[in-house]
Chains A and B, each alone.
Chain A
Amino acid sequence: MKAASFEYVRPDRLESAIAFLTEHGEEAKVIAGGQSLVPMLAFRLTAPRFLVDIGRISELRRVGIDADGIRLGALARWRDIERNEELHRANPLLVEAIRHVAHYQIRNRGTVGGSLAHADPAAEMPGIAITCDAKIVAAGKQGQRVIQAADFFTGPLSTVLQPDELIVEVRLPPWQSGRRWAFVEFARRRGDFALAGIALFYDTENGKACNARVGAIGVADTPVRLQAVEATINGNTITENVIRAAGAAAFESVDPSDDIHAPGDYRRALLQVLTERALSSAAKPG
């Protein structure tokens, strides 16, 4: 399981990385932490001519929090997010979701940008991006563009990124105070990809839920927003009936296919349970 040969370049500035990808993007793969890409290279599932290591472009590592929300540099690692006390307050849903990513050693190298670009349908970060209406900032030969998370993922392991582009930053909107939220996933073992997962939040106004956002991972070709579930939440106080309705709506919203880890009908039923449990958890006082 030795990778096929490649040429290795390590630009130390964003401009040089983009210049290289502009010329060679079709034959290149970008590597940051490599936690998802290196296994693919080892299995020879991909054999690019060039490997462009952006890991030393320090400007991509920055994490910023202000009134406009959160800006995560593409090279922000899971470890960096975990250890950032401010982020815990600035988006507790993000931090909770990240706790489920892989393992200790992987979290020291894996990056936000890498996860989004890899676009595994069961990965947590893409799920958070969808749920929180993240904006993904990509830079390429034509400059920077801002892509809505909802438009970013096109299929399993597939995004709208062009060969000359790389992710530079992810922006999450500000988090409302008093917001109720939950992240629940079910995986076979600690750190495994979720068989299904739910990220949700809602605000309250006059005791009723509003502004609900529900995202699911592991149940479709991409992370998906479950608007039908949001509809069962908005305008209601969260009762047992609402929880059951939310679960039923989640069940109706997806049609997962079978794979070696689980049949589609199991994932669907699983999603229903996780939705109920997530909403129940979010609604609990304290």
Chain B
Amino acid sequence: MSSARNVYVGQEIERTEDFRFLKGRGTFVDDYEPAGLVHAAILRSSVPHGRIAGIDAAAALRMPGVLAVICARDIGPTIPRIPIRLAPIAGLEKYLQPVIAVDKVRYVGEPLAVIVADSRALAEDAAAKIAVTIEPLSPLPDWRTAETDAALLFEENGTNVSTRYTVGFGDTGTAFASADYTRSEFFRAHRHTAVPMETRGVVAEWDAAAGRLVVNGATKVTFFNRRALAAMMQMPESAIDLIELDVGGGFGVRGEFYPEDFLIPFAARKLGRPIKWIEDRLEHMQAANHSREIDCELEIACRRDGTIIGLRGKIFADMGAYTRTNSGVVPAKAAQFLHGPYRIPAIKIEVSAFMTSKTPVGTYRAPGRFESNFFRERLIDMAARDLGIDPVAIRRKNLIAVDEMPYSIGRLVPYETETAYDSGDYQAALDKCLETFGWKEKAKLQGQLIDGRYHGVGVACFVESGGAGPRENVRMTLERDGHIAVAVGSSVLGQGLETVFAQIAADAMSLPMETFRVSHGSTTIIDEGFGTYHSRAVVMGGSAVLDGSKNLLDAIRTAAAGQLACREEDVTLEDGAARGPGGSTLSFAQIADAAGPLTVNGTFANTKRTYSYGAHAAHVAVDARLGHVEILDYVAVEDVGRAINPALVHGQTFGAVVQGLGGVFLDHIIYDANAQLLNASLADYLLPTASDFPNVRGVTMDLHRSPSNPLGAKGAGEGGMVAVAATAGNAVAAALTAFNAEPKELPLSPPRLWRLIQSAKLS
């Protein structure tokens, strides 16, 4: 980074946004109440697959305080379908979701009608009075059922298999035929999801006179969503504002375009009233994207000394009932990240995606990676055990070396070009992890029964991509009072970007951090933004802020030269002032006061991903009679290239690891054999609490900068999640060596682990 100094960048600066959150003065979407507001509820299908015979809202409409009931027929002859934003794998586009159910319902929770009333409670009262007749069709509760095509979710498509493709490189045939050792296993990752603490919400306001629509509650990819909404509403984009307020977490699932993102604005325009819809938790569990449900048949080929010579696998992805804006990412990345941080000369992965009559699937933090790292790292441990090689040693043998960087992993994703790991010392990260963890000492406990519990330690290595392109933009304005407004296209979902971007700008411009006021996400503050996903905000948004800062200094220099009556090259900028050759100075505020506010744009474009990497280690104690696992110690190490604010990165690590451990032991979306969602509440869907995983430690390294952006940063935010199932799974397997019980299926909840142990005992 070509900045003058690092007063802020790299420091654990306390967050500016904390003030309002600590005082209870944040503005989340449900806190926004324009005058004349009315409220919406969504009537959702309780049938997983069926033909809609009728929706009779007459009784509902008669209730006082009920303003409207909107079904497909009230929207028009053509119901818009939600477009694909990312990962357009051929075939998926045939399974797009209409914004409201038309002739069929395909999952429990699918929107059937929008009810608008004076209060949310009244709207729910009215929903209960709507008579819906659905002729049930055979449910498709899992991919094996879907694959038979006995019942079709989309008759017009003739199949429930939405896409199938194969990727790879090298000669796996020869590798497997000639290998000293091969092993094939079948793994399962289970359906679970992000569950942010704030549910979704939309407040839509229609100004008929101006023909303008303002929608509050947007986030993540606001500009894409505006484009999509404009097309659906048949309005120019410029007539729609999507406003990002404070956001209570996203983790991938919030902010994508959902049916309600059309339905509520549509209703607002139709009724000419501002309408608020706040998703309740029951709805959220049914309606917000699910994720992680992937089965994988994976086979490894090694030399006797543990060198991996081939990997081949089949990914079976349960996609739910519809292709969401980004659902292709999940199977595509699961396949790609099977490769991991290892030298694998031959790889072949077949990917199949199946539509089932369950909530549609989308990306959830470390999508596809959480799953595939579990599959691969478990298999590596099994191979190590078979070959009599230490699990750390086998990894050392195969980890890509620092001098092999950049390391190409070819084209393992159909909609992407060839990619390469940019930089990194994977051995160093593993070393750091093992040393911090105390692996040498703890490994002595491997498999031992102590005080009635079996102890085990496990390790996993990972690589994670970040900094997705193509671009991010910023607009910076030096105000008359000397403050600088920074408007970024990045979205904020809790990561502290208001502070991080101020740190970057402050160092770039040699000004105090308090000078800067960061706004984000809304389509009103900048012409084009690209948003927050794939750990890109700091890399892309931060680099754009750098560019904008440089441009603003140039603009200040030009204005100063004019006001100081000298040449630009004779102006020195220092400590918030411009000094001319004669010694006269003007503060930035004075310059802006005279010239008017100075506005510049900044941008950063990048097609090269960044790759963070690291290793995790865990020490577990398993009570085999209860099937209960206690995490005695967990260490997560990641090299993020450059930590702009190490405390914030640390926070992301803790959050990701704990959320990930929930995904191993607690979180579980449960459907029955009839595709009925059984646990749509937080009483029955278990999230980790403060007492569940207290022993988590994180180390953030900034060892190897990324060469592909001026900050040198690699994305952070998802890396902490990537290796959690792998690490915990390996530790539990190590603990259960005495039973010869190999965990291959998630979740490792007590009843399931107990059953694994029982079955192992019997065989």
Contact = CB atoms under 8 A, between A and B. Distances in A.
Given A4-B125, A195-B750, A186 B628 contact: yes
Interface residues of A, number: 23
A43 interface: yes
B683 A39 contact: yes
Contact of B686 (A3, A192, A269): A192
B692 A266 contact: no
Interface string A252-269: 000000001111001001
B409 to A, nearest CB: 39
B353 to A, nearest CB: 27
Contact of B125 (A5, A39, A188, A195): A5
A43 B626 contact: no
B664 to A, nearest CB: 13
Contact of B749 (A188, A269, A273): A188
Given A188-B666, A262-B751, A269-B625, A1 B692 contact: no
Interface residues of B, number: 30
Interface in A12-51: 39, 43-44
Contact of A2 (B120, B628, B678, B750): B120
Nearest to B124: A2
A260 B625 contact: no
A186 B691 CA distance: 15
B681 interface: yes
Given A188-B686, A189-B666, A263 B125 contact: no
Contact of A189 (B120, B124, B125, B689): B689
Interface in A185-233: 186, 188-192, 195
B753 to A, nearest CB: 10
Contacts of B121: 2-3, 5
B670 interface: yes
Query: Looking at A3, A5, A262, which has the most chain B CB atoms within 10 Å of its CB?
Result: A262
- Most chain B CB atoms below 10 A, which of A1, A3, A4, A44: A1
B684 interface: yes
A266 B755 contact: yes
Contact of A1 (B280, B666, B691): B280
Contacts of A39: 683
A269 B750 contact: no
A87 B681 CA distance: 35
B566 interface: no
Contacts of B683: 39
A195 B125 CA distance: 35
A191 to B, nearest CB: 8
Nearest to A269: B754
Given A260-B678, A260-B684, A266 B754 contact: yes
A262 B668 CA distance: 13
B231 interface: no
A1 B282 contact: yes
A195 B681 CA distance: 18
A190 B691 contact: yes
A101 interface: no
A270 interface: yes
B679 interface: yes
A158 B280 CA distance: 29
B751 A263 contact: yes
B128 interface: yes
Interface in A239-282: 260-263, 266, 269-270, 273
A156 to B, nearest CB: 15
A1 B128 CA distance: 12
Contacts of B691: 189-190
Nearest to A186: B626
B626 A189 contact: no
A270 B626 contact: yes
A178 B25 CA distance: 56
Interface of A: 1-5, 39, 43-44, 186, 188-192, 195, 260-263, 266, 269-270, 273
Given A261-B751, A262-B750, 16 more contacts: A1-B280, A2-B119, A2-B124, A3-B121, A4-B128, A188-B686, A188-B750, A189-B689, A190-B689, A190-B692, A260-B670, A260-B678, A260-B684, A263-B751, A266-B750, A269-B625
10 contacts: A1-B124, A1-B280, A5-B121, A189-B686, A190-B691, A261-B751, A262-B751, A266-B627, A270-B626, A273-B625
